[in-house]
Amino acid sequence: MSKRLSSEILSYYRETPERDRLQTGVFQLEFFRTKELIDRWLSRPPAVVLDVGGGPGAYASWLAGRGYEVQLVDPVPELVEQARQLDGRIASCSVGDARALNQKDQSADCVLLLGPLYHLVDSSERQSALREAYRVLVPGGLLFAAAISRFASALDGLARDFLADPAFVKIVERDLATGLHENVTGKAEYFTTAHFHRPEELEEEVTAADFSVLQVVGLEGPGWLFENFEQRWRDSRCREDMLRVARALEAERSIRGISAHLLAVARRPQ
């Protein structure tokens, strides 16, 4: 049965500059660290990588350039077309849904879920996406599943002074209490409908889909919170300091949630 993402989320990605996001601002740290973690665990090519929710193709292009066969799937047709135009080395770019993939059983060596889990606000739908990833993976195949930290909006609001807006304060209060992020203000900088995870919740959900969890890490560490992030990122020594701290704290259970994003690394058992 065909599934669709909510119209609100689809509209958000049609109207915001997702194509260039990972090359701007604090998202550069997210992009660098995600690639670093993938590179740490993923075996060398040849291998088939299924990039589910791959958007305009930033990760797909990077992996295709390294010699992997990359198949990209995303629910937003405009983003799929951007990925298709970005890099002809991406093996395929198609419109699809994480909860009902068209790929065959055991057809991928690695699955990336670097967006779907936070836009599926119902836990049963997140389980559907995880079980689909399990289905298409070969035994021993790797899953990289990203989530947004439960505490991201509170920390972002403090860093960027969004908490001066009473409407944003209400969003944060609900995020912290329930994990459900809903933005009814019309301000794109406050993001769109999403579920924000606690680190242990992400681990529990991936485990419930029968994966063997290898690691759940905080991606960015505290570096994304600096007002002068761009200045620090351009300075090689400051950039390395941010990366060094992010690596040192990534697995520390007491502080993983300070990162804007979490990443679960898991394996389908042999």
DSSP code string of the chain: ------HHHHHHHHHS-GGGGGGSTTHHHHHHHHHHHHHHHSPPSS-EEEEET-TTSHHHHHHHHTT-EEEEEES-HHHHHHHHHH-TTSSEEEE-BTTB--SPTT-EEEEEESSHHHH--SHHHHHHHHHHHHHHEEEEEEEEEEEEETTHHHHHHHHHTGGGSHHHHHHHHHHHHHSEE---S--GGG--SEEEE-HHHHHHHHHHTT-EEEEEEESSGGGGG-TTHHHHHHSHHHHHHHHHHHHHHTT-TTTGGGSSEEEEEEE---
- Give the architecture (CATH level 2) of 7-149+197-267: 3-Layer(aba) Sandwich (3.40)
- The 8 Å CB, 24+ separation contacts for 43-48 are 43/109, 45/69, 47/109, 47/110, 48/107, 48/108, 48/109, 48/110
59-74 pLDDT, tens digit per residue, is 999 999 999 999 999 9
Q: Identify the residue whose tokens are 């969004």.
A: 162
Label the pairing between strands 212-218 and 194-197: unpaired
31-46 pLDDT, tens digit per residue, is 999 999 999 999 999 9
Residue 3's pLDDT is: 63
209-268 pLDDT, tens digit per residue, is 999 999 999 999 999 999 999 999 999 999 999 999 999 999 999 999 999 999 999 999
Cβ–Cβ under 8 Å, residues 147 and 116: no
Cβ–Cβ under 8 Å, residues 79 and 56: yes
pTM for this model (two decimals) = 0.96
Residue 214's pLDDT is: 98
156-198 pLDDT, tens digit per residue, is 999 999 999 999 999 999 999 999 999 999 999 999 999 999 9
Which residues, at least 6 apart from 69, have a Cβ–Cβ distance to it below 8 Å? 45, 46, 47, 48, 49, 91
Q: Which of 37, 51, 45, 34 is nearest to 136 (CA)?
A: 51
pLDDT for residue 1 is more than 60: no
